[in-house]
Structure 1
């Protein structure tokens, strides 16, 4: 997409692709999104440096307003700004192609002074249009369950309810063992695992989705090829059922590093999904994840599981930390939307 798209209900606002010079304005209106801050001021420069054909970042700009000077924005180092855009960015959204047919929408933010003017709809449509033009036919996003404003905006912008999940965090432990020996870790056969997944209640609950291998926080379809690649990379963990056969599995999507306010680096093992049948297999699987996380040097973990009293209570019974609230995934069928 080149140039800008006039938004019919507001002559001052245009949606266009982001440029590096938008950095001061974007950092200014996203620095205090939440009390804990926002990742976008740090991420935006990296987005602008990356020439990724599967990613597009869009901004809504006020063509009548000037952007802030870099030295006036606490989140910006003026030495990092080579140029400033001619207009003022007042909204941002990013579209990411996860596979040939799946897209992901993220980083939707609107300057508080410009809310209520339809900017999120305009930004969302720009992302939908680009995803559709690049062959994607479904777009998803994630909204924290407590973010009712984000949920309402997602529905208004064309998303329908999708699925929900929760994070659990077993501690890395090289000596972790299950409470019983009714189930245990077995060979990581990806085809047998695929057979388990196709009939698993967890797959139905998650609409076949798991944490994406490359895009942080995004969910995409879990395929046989992804399981085969995880097995080839020694990232697939499989446990038995008490009566034999596959009783559950998980795969490590990645490890990531996070730096806290004191400059200390924490390594987190991220597991794309954990699925099992019964508490014994759950117990064995979470112990296997603890050992795997320790083996790759992780300090913490997060493991995606379906949001249901069955799976959440199984994890609680196994004695691992469970996230306080679920997260929601929304879904938009791009074949049902049209753009000028």
Structure 2
């Protein structure tokens, strides 16, 4: 995609694919997105180096302004930049094809000096259009529940309410008990796990969504094949119920390395935790703790539905709970929002 005017009526702005030379300007206006900074400057060179056909990064470009060079922005490596564009990137977003029919929109940022000009909608329309052209029929995104601006922008872009979840954090513990009350760890049979998930209240509350194993910070529909892959890699956790059937299911989606306060931290992320009763919840979190320890993790993060039942069962199991839920929103791409 070259310069495109079909997504905006602003005569100074065009939407185009991102290029490596956009890095300095993007790094400059995203540096203070949050008090803790932003990941865009670190992630952007990786995005530009990748030839993944399932990912497309877009920018809104001011045709009347010049971009910043690497030597004008602290911390930018000139080797990551290359040739500068002829315009100035003032917004960015990324579209990702998670499965053959599901897309994900992420990394939406707009230069504060250009907000209020409809650039989020224009870039999002370009992403929706590309996802539809590549066969996807639903697009989702994630917004922190406290981010009212992001929620409003998402609705303006064509997203509707989807679901919500909470991160919880059981401690890695190789000695966590295998049995709790009437529940205990059992063989990780992925087909039995799938049957439990398919009929669970957790699946209904999450609308079938769990952490995607390929793209961090994204959710997609859990499939039987994903559970089979997890079982084959010894990443599936299953516990029994009081009646001897399946009482709870989880799977490790990935382990990640990151630096926190100058220390390298390994975190194990679990795509979902679903259970039938409080005993099963406690046994399942213990199974997750053992798995995380075996994976060499220092910390965990587990996705659970945002509902008083799930959160209170987690609290009763003695597991740390995140302060705020996260919202997932969804857009039906057959509505062709980019033709608004």
TM over 0.5: yes
Q: Is the 8 A contact 2:8 2:122 kept in 1?
A: no
CA distances 1:196-233 after superposition (whole Å, capped 9, x unpaired):
11110000000000000010000000011111111111
Q: Deviations over 1:94-126 (max 9, x none)?
A: 000000000000000000000000000000000
- Tell me the equivalent position of 2:227: 227
Give the CA deviation at 1:338: 4.8
User: 2: CA distance between counterparts of 1:248 and 1:5?
Assistant: 51
Match of 2:15 in 1: 15
**Following the alignment from structure 2 to structure 1, what is the Cα–Cα distance between the partners of residues 63 and 75?**
23
TM-score (norm 1): 0.97
Measure the CA separation in 2 of the matches of 1:46 and 1:180. 44
Q: How does 1:125-136 map to 2 (within 5 A)?
A: 125-136=125-136
Question: SS state of the match for residue 243, structure 2?
Answer: coil
Shift of 1:31: 1.0
8 A Cα contact 1:7 1:13, kept in partner: no
**Matches for 1:84-103 after TM superposition, within 5 Å:** 84-103=84-103
Residue 75 of structure 1 deviates from its aligned partner by: 3.7
**Partner residue, 2:117:** 117
After superposing the two structures, state which structure 1 stretch, 22-31 or 69-78, moved more. 69-78
Q: Residue 107 of structure 1 corresponds to which residue in structure 2?
A: 107
The 5 A counterparts of 1:149-298 are 149-177=149-177, 180-262=180-262, 264-298=263-297
SS of the aligned residue for 2:106 comes to: strand
Unaligned runs of 5+ in 2: none
* Distance across 2 between alignment mates of 1:153 and 1:328: 13
Aligned-partner SS, 1:186:
coil
Residue 70, structure 1, aligned to residue 70, structure 2: yes
Q: What CA RMSD, in Å, does the superposition of the two structures yield over aligned residues?
A: 1.3
| Contact 2:94 2:107 (C-alpha < 8 Å) held by counterparts | yes
Unaligned runs of 5+ in 1: none
Comparing 253-262 with 271-280, greater Cα deviation is found at: 253-262
Matched residues in 2 for 1:92 and 1:307: separation?
30
The residue that corresponds to 2:46 in the other structure is: 46
How far residue 77 of structure 1 moved from its aligned partner, in angstroms, is 2.8
> How far did residue 176 of structure 1 move?
1.1
Do 1:140 and 1:330's aligned partners in 2 also have CA atoms closer than 8 Å? yes
Residue pairs, 1:302-321, within 5 angstroms? 302-321=301-320
3-state SS of paired residue (2:257): strand
Secondary structure (helix, strand or coil) at the match of 2:123 reads: helix
Please report the TM-score for the alignment, with normalisation by the length of structure 2.
Answer: 0.97
* Cα distance change on mapping 1:230 and 1:7 into 2, 3 Å: closer
Contact in 1 for aligned 2:91/2:119 (Cα 8 Å): yes
Deviation at 1:74, TM superposition (A): 1.9
Q: In the TM superposition, what whole-angstrom CA distance separates every residue of 1:295-340 from its partner, at most 9, and x where no partner exists? A: 0100000000000000000000000100000000000000012545
Question: Contact between 2:142 and 2:327, CA under 8 Å: does it hold in 1?
Answer: yes
The DSSP-based 3-state class of the residue aligned with 2:285 is helix
Cα drift, residue 81 of structure 1: 2.7
Name whichever of 270-279 and 170-179 sits farther off. Answer: 170-179
Q: Is the 8 A contact 1:273 1:305 kept in 2?
A: yes
Give SS of 1:141's match: strand
Task: State the Cα deviation string for residues 124-163 of structure 1 (Å, max 9, x = none).
Answer: 0000000000000000000000000000000010000000
Question: How far did 1:178 drift?
Answer: 6.7
The aligned length equals 339
Contact kept? 1:24, 1:84, Cα under 8 Å: no
